[in-house]
Structure formats: C-alpha cells, structure tokens
Chain A
Amino acid sequence: SALAGPFGLGRPATEAEIEAWDVSVHPDGSGLPEGSGDVMTGEEVFSERCAVCHGEFAEGVGNWPKLAGGDGTLADKDPVKTVGSYWPYLSTTWDYVHRSMPFGAAQTLTPDEVYAIVAYILYSNDLVDDDFVLTRDDFLSVEMPNAGGFIVDDRDAMEVPMFTYEPCMTDCKPEVEITMRAAVLDVTPEDAAEEA
C-alpha cells in the first residue's frame, strides 16, 4: 500500500467524502458554509419545520425543549436552560440544527435555512432585532449571554481532597431519621407483570 500507516489499511478519503461528512462548525466559526438568513425568513421556516415541537416562539411545546427564555434563571431552584439563557457558543446552534434537526428529518435544511432559523432563535431570545441578518462573516458579532458561564471540571481541586479520607466505621452519628421517601412521590412505573 502507498499509505503512511504501519499496517497499510484503509484508503485515502476523497475531498468529496470529507466535505460530505465533516460539517462541524467550531466556536470560532470555522466550518461555516457561505450563506445568510434573516429573522423574518427564519420565522417562516421555523413555523413550518420546527414550531410543532418547539412552539411558534421557540418557547417549547409540552415536554419538548424550550429554545428561548429563561434569561437569568440559572441559579434558581428550577433553571430554564435555553440557547439564550445557557448556550455559550452560537456555532453549536448552527451546527446542531444543520446536522441533527428537525427531529426525524435531519440534514434536510439548506445552509441559508439554517442561518435564518438561527437568526430567528436569536430574535426569540431578544438577542437581536427583527431586521437582523445572520451571515458567515458577522457570525461572531452576536454575544451569547452565558458565554462566560462555564468552568472546566474542577473536581480534582474542589472535591477529591474533600472526599479522600479514612472513613468512620463505628459511632459515626448518634441519630438517624428518614427525611424523604420515594413512595410518597409515587412516580415509579408499576411492575412489568402488572402493566401487561
């Protein structure tokens, strides 16, 4: 084989093959194709392709994901985590919609449609005005509110020292009380046999 690898297995990938499968978009916007889309076009496409699950205003239907709202709720008892309130990078929205949405008919949106849908999601989150046009070149101009909201796993510093010790074996505590019971909630499915 002409290949560099020690086993000479596989064959070189062609450019067309790489282009077909490597569609990922990086946080710096690299990987984005040419194209653009505005909020108004996005509203139409969203209404047709997305709203049945995600709602006309991206607010979510039933148990389906909310894409908009929840601003400022991340420290609440029940945070609402959406593109606007939570997602750190716009690249992820473009990439995920383009590659994996609509649910059940993925990879059927053109780049322009994806730009338009992403513009509409931004508008639904009050992050852009209704005349906003999203293009490849101005992609990084949109500020994501929670871009600074993430820290790299710090368990090694925060938890491992705290949880590394010789544990107590006897006389560890004087009293024990039951403080919560799953049977009170009663949300566990019945036995398989009882369901049948």
Chain B
Amino acid sequence: MSETDKPSRRAFLKGAAVAGTGAAFGGPVLAAGEGDPLITEVQPWASGLGAGVDATPYGLPIQFESDVVRRNVPWLTADPISSINFTPIHALDGTITPQGAAFERHHSGAIELRKEDYRLMVNGMVGTPLVFTYADLERFPRESHVYFCECAANTGMEWAGAQLNGAQFTHGMIHNMEYVGVPLRTLLEEAGYDTNAKWVYVEGADASSNGRSIPMDKALDDVLVAFKANGEALRMEHGYPVRLVVPGWEGNMWVKWLRRIEVTDAPMESREETSKYTDTLADGTSRKWTWVMDAKSVVTSPSPQSPIAHGPGPLVITGLAWSGRGAITRVDVTTDGGKTWQAARLAAPGASKALTRFYLDTDWDGQEMLLQSRAMDETGYVQPTKAQLRAVRGENSVYHNNCIQTWWIKPNGEAENVEIS
C-alpha cells in the first residue's frame, strides 16, 4: 500500500480514540477550537502525486470497494461449473449493474468464444437456412434498450423459510444493463420464416446448450440478439460475443453464446423447460412455460450486509423494484412489518421490464424496524407476501419467488432476514 492510499496514521489514531468504534465514517467528535486532522494536517494525497494516466488502461474499482463483488454459496450446487453467483445489490445504487459484478449462471461453465469463431445459424421452417458471422450481425439495424435479467431461481432458497442473510444472496441473481443488438425479428425475416410457425428454439454454443423454446409472438415482439451491454462488448461470462435478451422473461431463456435459432411448429420440451424451469405445486402437478417474471422489489439498504452504522437520525432507505409485465408505477415501504405503509420516491419513472430505484428518506428513532417494500406495476399487480404465494403454490415451486422480503432492523443497526406473521 502506498502512502497516498491511506490517511496519516496519526490522524487515524486520533479519530479512533475520540470517536470509538462504530463511527468509522462519522469523523471524530471535536472539542471547541480543535480541528479534524484530516483537515488541519496536510494529507499525502494533497501534497504528493497520484497515478498517471498510463497506469490503468482498463480499470477496476478502487481497493476499498473490494467487498462489492460477486459471491457464491458453495452448498447450493454440486460444483461451481453448473452453478450461480450473486450480484452485490446491497452495495449498489441507481439501476445499471456494473458488468464486472453482475451475476453469472452457467450450466457448463463460462466459455471463451472468439468473434472470429462465432457462427449463428437460423434454420427450420425458413425460406433459406442461413449462417451469420459476427461481422454480419453488426451490419443489421440496431436497437438499444435497458432490461433486467433475473434468474428464475432468484429468491428460490427462501420458499420454505428465511435462509440466507443478505440481499445479495436472497435477491442477487439479477442484473440490469443497457443492451445493443439486432431484433430477433430482423434475423427471422432475413431467413424468410414461415408465418405459420408457432415457435423458435434457441440454443447456445456451450456444452450445456441451454436450449429453450420461445413462442413466435414473443420472438417477433421485443427479443434482442445482443452484442453490447453497458456500452461495451458482453463479458465472457455473460455470453460473449452474442446473447439473447428476452425482456421481462426468466433469465434461463436469455441464451448466452447464442449459436442456433430453429423455427418450429411445436415446442421442443427441452431439459431446461421440463426437468428444470417448471414449478411444482402443492398437489404435485407442475406449471410449465412460466416465462414472465412478476413484479418484485427488495430493500437493498439497510439490509443484513448493509447495516445502519450511523445511529439514529436521518436514514436513507433504498431498494430496487422491477416487473416483467411492464413498468413499476409505485413502491410502498413499511417500517413496522406492514401495519402502515408509505409511498417511496422513485428515482426516475419506472421503465418497462427494467430495474427501478426507490428511496424513502426517513428519520430513524433508533428503535427496531420490520422493513418491507411492496412493488406495483402498470398492470395494477401488487407484489404478494410469501404467505399469499404459498397459499396458491405451496413451498416446492423452486422458481418465481417474488414475495415481499422482511428485514428485521435491530436497535444497534444490524439487520436480519426474517419472516413475520
């Protein structure tokens, strides 16, 4: 660590001695006439030199943010190749997910596929089966949209109770990016799709293939064949060089490393839409083709990984809301476990099938809180409680848990994932 990386040791010791623990960012309490040494003493960064412009051609976050990273939960899966990790949503703000910390879900690992080696085939019920190179795709007219990608299993571990202690783990199988790509419709038209065809089957270039069937109506509506996210090429782990973007629908259908689109008259009923991504109800029957992700929200701070460190007084309660059925129109927040609610402030008007940031600016009295958020979308759908969902589905759906989340905020500012009556 260089000298410019930290305040002077003397300043640190003074601050710690005066303020004690738990006030790391609050600064020292000063007697009249004294001054904060971070102000009254010249600090190294105000005297020496910082890094040159040639030091970092492509930068990573500053070291002090090293906790804002993807995390995995080893016991969830048999191995880390067909597995999941989680976006650190407890530490982010706004709506755009930094790609480097955006969650991953692979079924046979993140593959390395060069643009030069990339091929996309459109076959089946088409006039001319076609092969595109990556360069071909960049010559079609493009569109750009912001959408959330939420794993169907997000919050799935919470069906039977409160399990994982943090918004990252309970709600972090999600990211939200600005995509650029070619409408799937354009490629289907290029191949001359049969207008009697009812489905497309899409699959990836990886060993798992992740094949899924998509009804033609959706394929022609808003599905994108995307090659840029948040301004730059897709990350390897997010499908470089080309992935499918399926707005509002479960993340499994966002096929990465997309290699083939087959126009068909019937669904394929592949492994990923029979064995997996089907939702078993209490009576043992299972829903299939549960594509859309319903309205959902979560308070990201305060939360178990983002406790209140500053004591009573002004407190920003913030979180995310989203719906696969359209735009978020309202988010309500309760601090007393749902006895009373107040409307939160949306940072920007809700955008269709994209994350929406909300804030509730409060004055915390230092007492315990039972904190919840409740999203509403433009269709009038209100995010349900877990009890409401269980009443319809039981506890073995695995997927599509969009229930209201409760954080128990304790007088010391710590937070815990709980269920309440």
Q: Chain A interface (Cβ within 8 Å of chain B)?
A: 3-7, 9-13, 17-18, 21-22, 24, 26-28, 53, 62-65, 74-75, 77-79, 81, 83, 86-89, 91-92, 95-96, 99-100, 103-104, 106-107, 149-155, 158-160, 162-165, 167-183, 185, 187-189, 191-193
**Among candidates B72, B262, B282, B338, residue contacting A172 with C-beta atoms closer than 8 Å:** B338
Q: Are B75 and A164 in contact (CB under 8 A)?
A: no
Contact call B69/A192, Cβ cutoff below 8 A = yes
List residues of B (371-421) whose CB comes within 8 Å of A's CBs.
Answer: 374, 376, 379-384, 388, 392, 395-396, 408, 416-421
Interface residues on B, range: 35 or more
Contact A12 B73 (CB under 8 A): no
Q: Among the interface residues A5, A152, A167, A181, which one has the most CB atoms of the partner chain B within 10 A?
A: A5
Query: C-beta contact mask, B263-307 vs A, less than 8 Å → 1, else 0?
Result: 010101111001100101011111111111010000000001000
A183 and B419: CB pair below 8 A? no
Contact for A79 among B266, B274, B284, B332, CB less than 8 A: B284
Q: Which residues of A contact B286 (CB under 8 A)?
A: 74, 86, 149-151
B208 interfacial by beta-carbon distance below 8 Å: yes
**Partner pick for B269 among A17, A53, A92, A154, CB 8 A cutoff:** A92
Q: B239 an interface residue at 8 Å Cβ cutoff?
A: no
Complex Cα spacing A169 to B336, Å: 12
> Which among B75, B78, B203 has the highest number of chain A CB atoms within 10 Å?
B78
CA distance A186 to B164 in the complex (A): 8
**What's the Cα separation between A22 and B268 when bound, in Å?**
12
The answer to whether B274 and A9 have CB atoms under 8 Å apart is no
Q: How far is the CA of A64 from the CA of B418 in the complex (A)?
A: 30
Q: Which A residues lie within 8 Å of B338 (CB)? A: 172-173, 176
| A167→B108 CA distance, assembly (Å) | 43
In whole angstroms, how far apart are the Cα atoms of A151 and B287 in the complex?
Answer: 5
CB contact under 8 A between A182 and B417, given known A107-B207, A164-B381: yes
| A10/B201 in contact, CB under 8 A | no
The residues of B that contact A191 with a CB separation of less than 8 Å are 67
Residue of A nearest to B74 (CB): A189
Residues of chain B contacted by A4 (CB below 8 angstroms): 127-128, 191-192
A6 to B201, CA, bound (A): 23
Q: Of B121, B274, B395, which is within 8 A of A13 by CB?
A: B121
Per-position contact with A for B290-333: 1 when CB-CB < 8 Å, else 0?
Answer: 11101000000000100000000000000000000000000010
